[in-house]
Amino acid sequence: MKVKDLIEVLKKVDPEQEMVLSSDPEGNHYEILYGFESDMYFDKVDKYVFSEQERVDEGYPTKNCIKATVLWPS
């Protein structure tokens, strides 16, 4: 899902509701949304995220990566 798609969905939701994240598609665990970071990288093969600064400092390759916004559970 792209950020623009999420924005459209959220326009229809009561803005006073809490945001809750599921740990997996089956709903085995839930947490309240704590925060988010934009302009991160998500490696689609190895399934990890890192920032631009980590990419520069650690030399993470970006060939399997996409730019992403990451939502962090509490």
The band of 65, judged by pLDDT with boundaries at 50, 70 and 90, is very high
The band of 3, judged by pLDDT with boundaries at 50, 70 and 90, is very high
pLDDT digits 0-9 by tens, 45-56:
999 999 999 999
Q: Is residue 26 part of a domain?
A: no
Length of the chain: 74
For residue 16, the tally of other CB atoms under 10 A from its CB is 5
Q: Residue 60: give the domain boundaries.
A: 33-74
Q: Is residue 14 part of a domain?
A: no
On the question of pLDDT at 8 being above 90, the answer is: yes
Q: Is residue 8 part of a domain?
A: no
Q: Is residue 61 part of a domain?
A: yes
**For residue 58, what are its two tokens?**
């650690």
Element (H, E) at 6: helix 3-10
* pLDDT at residue number 61: 86
- Please give the tally of structural domains in the chain: 1
On the question of pLDDT at 14 being above 90, the answer is: yes
Model-level pTM? 0.75
- Three-state SS for 29? coil
Q: Is residue 7 part of a domain?
A: no
